[in-house]
Amino acid sequence: MEELAVKMQGITKIFNQVKANDCVDFSLRKGSIHGLLGENGAGKTTLMNVLYGLYQQEAGDIFIHGAKAEVDSPLKAISLGIGMVHQHFMLARPLTVVENVMLGRKSRRGILLDTKETARELQTLSDKYGMGVDPYSKIWQLSVGEQQRVEILTALYMGADILLLDEPTAVLTPQETNLFFDTLRQMRDDGKSIVLITHKLEEIIAIVDEVTVLRDGKMIGTLNMDESVTKDQLTRMMVGRDVLFNFKENTRAPGAVRYCLKNLCARNAKGVAALKNFSLDIREGEIVGLAGVDGNGQSELCEVLTGLRPLDAGEITLDDEKMANRPPAYFISHGVCHIPEDRHTTGLAMNWDLELNLILKCFYKAPFAKHGLLCKKAIEEYWEKTRAAYQIKANCGGDTARSLSGGNQQKVILAREIESEPKVLIANQPTRGLDVGAAEYVRQKLLNTRGNGAALLVVSADLEELLQLSDRIAVIYGGELMGILERGADPYQIGELMMGKKQEVSVCEA
């Protein structure tokens, strides 16, 4: 029998009377990569936070290398050889890599810093796993993928032989993901034990030795990964039912150009050029997917296209209407709808009633307002109707938006934007942070909107999603259009464009 690096038995963790983990068993074999699969809110992160000492379990025991352990703080976890890399990196951006590693640690040279020695050790460790991290580069200069490697390196340097990785590939391009998986395999072969939290089935199939599936806080089962395990099987365990992976092909050919973007230039919040001569045509009844590594101008583009950000140069034409630098209200009244990237600060007034959020863009119109006064009855009725139609799980329209889960919040936004019968819909990360079921629902609605003749621009970090939805995929890098690919493009080719390799023969007809 192989040695177990971690054994968790009957772990129960309760938040506000909700069981985030309900009597979960979990075992991690030494020297293996173990996938922790489940939808958002299934309790994956909670379970790992319990193991890392961030949460204390209400019931259950933890054994590390066979010995019972009370993990009551991350410090304790680190001393037991457990390291965790969170979804959001915990790095001080103005500092160098080695300074970040040294943060909060005692120097071996008393009151003097042992920077050089630490840097040398880091370099050795980085070389060993082929991570290519320069200990003296500043964090803000590094790409997201490199920052992630710094986080892992830090954990290893602290002496971790059990690594907990929370959705590590969410921010990586396909190429970076492959590189990352190589590193993981190397670490496994070196005897490290790794937990990979994910909701992506491809990753489970690609790299994992064993997988444990959680659903609604309960452990559904643990499988040894071999050829016999199929994607469908995992999906059923994860969702509890079958999920449609293939949507119907677009039955309707795209029509005339609806939204024409010509040589757009704009700056980001820091005043740095974020869009450079960006041109793109979106036709009615068409979904154009916008692929790119986060922070390459996607958000600025969406803001420019909805009037939220001023344009320095260029033209935006909706049918025959000049739209550049008009106020947001003008875009709204001309049928440009927007599913914003950030639900919490932009898409919803979080502390406000749901029914008020639902009429955010039409509160002054009949039937919601008459003679300048709001018509409470019409608003309530509209909420009830919409709640039923979009299956929003909420007690009543007077609840705050904050009280809903992410998926239901997104449904409220989706309902508001789609019900207004958009001519153009700009959707920025419409399924980010949603579970499989809710994401599927959102995608279906986007396709329906296309079917109704709207022109859609969908920005997503999830390449699978773009491939599934888009009629064409545009790739942005450093604020520039790298190229446009037709349906059925090779993900690898998209990945290359995402990393800034310009398409040789430009198909861009703008």
Partner 1 sequence: MKLDLQKTGNKAAGAVAMVAAALLVGAVLVMISGNNPLEAYSTLLSGAFSSKQRVSELFVKLVPVMIMGLGISVAYRAQLWNIGAEGQFIIGSIAATAVGLYVKLPPVLLAPLTLLAAIAAAGGWALLAGFLKVRFHANEVITTLMLNYIADYFLDFLVYGPMMDPAGQLPQSAMVPEGIQIKAIFSGLRVHYGLAIMVVVFILTVLLWRSTLGYRINLIGQGERVSTYAGVNVKRTILLTMFISGAVAGVAGWIETFGLQYRIMENMAGSYGNIATVVALLGALHPCGIAVASFFFSILLVGGASMQRMTNVPYSIVDVIQGLIIIFVIAGIVGQGRKTVKRAGRIGKDA
Which lies closer to partner 1 via its Cβ, residue 333 or residue 444? 333
436 binds partner 1 (CB under 8 A): no
User: Is 258 an interacting residue with respect to partner 1 (CB under 8 A)?
Assistant: no
Q: Which of residues 396-415 bind partner 1 (CB under 8 A)?
A: 396, 398-399, 402, 406
Please state the closest distance from residue 369 (CB atom) to partner 1, in A.
Answer: 5
Nearer Cβ to partner 1, position 158 or 308? 308
Query: Which of 130, 159, 191, 327 contacts partner 1 by CB under 8 A?
Result: 327
**Choice from 201, 282, 302, 356 touching partner 1 (CB under 8 A):** 356
CB of 73 to partner 1, least distance (A): 16
List residues bridging with 480 in a β-sheet. Answer: 477
Q: Could you tell me the smallest distance in angstroms from the CB atom of residue 376 to partner 1?
A: 8
Exactly one of 136, 140, 247, 363 binds partner 1 (CB under 8 A); that residue is 363
Among 3, 15, 70, 221, binds partner 1 (CB under 8 A): 15
CB of 165 to partner 1, least distance (A): 15
CB nearer partner 1, residue 338 or residue 472: 338
Query: From CA 88, how far away is CA 492, in angstroms rounded?
Result: 26
Is residue 49 within the footprint of partner 1 (CB under 8 A)? yes
Residue among 33 and 358 whose Cβ is closer to partner 1 = 358
| Terminal Cα-to-Cα distance of the chain (whole angstroms) | 64
Contact residue for partner 1 among 90, 103, 256, 329 (CB under 8 A): 329
Q: Would you say 482 and 503 are in contact if contact means Cβ atoms under 8 Å apart?
A: yes
Nearest distance from C-beta of residue 47 to partner 1, angstroms: 11
Q: Please, what is the minimum distance in Å from the beta carbon of residue 350 to partner 1?
A: 8
Binding partner 1 (rule: CB under 8 A), the pick from 346, 468, 493, 503 is 346
Min CB(46)–partner 1 separation in Å: 6
Contact track, partner 1, 21-40, x by CB under 8 A = -------------------x
Residue 238 token pair: 């994860």
Q: How far apart are CA 14 and CA 281, in angstroms?
A: 50
* Interface stretch with partner 1, choices 57-65, 99-107, 183-191, 391-399 (CB under 8 A): 391-399
**Cβ nearer to partner 1, comparing 77 with 119:** 77
> CA-CA distance, 194 to 213, in Å (whole number)?
16
The DSSP annotation for 138-198 comes to BGGGS-HHHHHHHHHHHHHHTT-SEEEEESGGGG--HHHHHHHHHHHHHHHHTT-EEEEEE
E runs forming strands in 382-508: 424-428, 455-459, 472-477, 480-486
Q: Does 283 bind partner 1 (CB under 8 A)?
A: no
Taking CB under 8 A as the rule, does residue 308 contact partner 1?
yes
* Residue 332 binds partner 1 (CB under 8 A): yes
Distance between CA atoms of residues 34 and 23, nearest Å: 19
371 token code pair: 């003679």
Which one, of 233, 291, 237, 230, lies nearest residue 464 by Cα? 291
Among 285, 340, 479, 495, binds partner 1 (CB under 8 A): 340
DSSP 8-state code for residue 345:
I
Among 257, 350, 436, 508, binds partner 1 (CB under 8 A): 350
Between 228 and 395, name the residue whose CB sits nearer to partner 1. Answer: 395
φ, ψ dihedrals at 140, nearest 5°? -65, -15
- Among 352, 420, 462, 500, contact with partner 1 (rule: CB under 8 A): 352
Type of residue numbered 431: T
Contact 57, 257 (CB under 8 A): no
By beta-carbon proximity to partner 1, the closer residue of 120 and 376 is 376
Q: Distance between CA 339 and CA 430 in Å, rounded?
A: 7
Q: Looking up tokens 């395990």, which residue turns up?
A: 229
Say which DSSP state 400 is in: B
Q: Are strands 480-486 and 472-477 parallel, antiparallel or unpaired?
A: antiparallel
Mode of pairing for the β-strands spanning 373-374 and 472-477: unpaired
Beta strands 33-37 and 210-215: pairing type?
parallel
Nearer CB in complex with partner 1: 76/361: 361
Which three-class secondary structure state does DSSP give residue 248?
A: coil
Q: Which of these, 412, 423, 488, 486, lies nearest to 449 by C-alpha position?
A: 423
Residue 217 is a binding residue for partner 1 (CB under 8 A): no
Instruction: By CB under 8 A, tell whether 376 contacts partner 1.
Output: yes
Q: Which part of the chain contacts partner 1 (CB under 8 A), choosing from 27-35, 128-136, 326-334, 487-495?
A: 326-334
Binding to partner 1 in span 288-307, by CB under 8 A: 306
Residue number with CB closer to partner 1 (15 or 492): 15
Task: Give dist(CA 85, CA 164) in Å, integer.
Answer: 6
Strands lying side by side in the sheet with 4-15: 18-29, 4-15, 59-64, 67-69
Among 10, 74, 295, 328, binds partner 1 (CB under 8 A): 328
Q: Does 247 bind partner 1 (CB under 8 A)?
A: no
Alpha carbon distance 432, 183 (integer Å): 26
Phi, psi angles (nearest 5°) of residue 334 = -100, 15
CA dist., res. 483 & res. 508, Å (int): 7
Q: Rounded to an integer, what distance in angstroms lies between the CA atom of residue 247 and that of residue 253?
A: 16
Instruction: Determine which residue in the list 140, 245, 247, 364 makes contact with partner 1, applying CB under 8 A.
Output: 364
Q: Does 335 bind partner 1 (CB under 8 A)?
A: no
Per CB under 8 A, residues contacting partner 1 are: 15, 20, 40-41, 45-46, 49, 306, 308, 327-329, 331-333, 338, 340, 342, 344-352, 356, 360-361, 363-364, 369, 372-374, 376, 395-396, 398-399, 402, 406, 433
